[in-house]
Amino acid sequence: MAATTTAGGGTPGEGPKIVWNQPQQRFETEDKKAYLQYALRDGGTVMDIVHTFVPPSKRGLGLASHLCVSAFRHAKTNSMSVVPTCSYVSDTFLPRNPTWNSLLYSEDLRSHM
Given pLDDT bands bounded at 50, 70 and 90, which one contains residue 10? very low
Distance CA 91, CA 11 (A): 29
Q: Which residues are catalytic?
A: 86
Distance CA 78, CA 81 (A): 9
Span 3-111 CATH architecture: 3-Layer(aba) Sandwich (3.40)
pLDDT of 3 over the 90 cut: no
Among 13, 7, 76, 1, which residue's Cα sits nearest to residue 35?
7
pLDDT given at position 46: 98
Residues 66-79, mean pLDDT to the nearest whole number = 98
pTM above 0.75, yes or no: yes
Distance CA 95, CA 112 (A): 27
Rg (CA), the chain: 14
Domain ranges of the chain: 3-111
3-state secondary structure of 85: coil
pLDDT given at position 45: 97
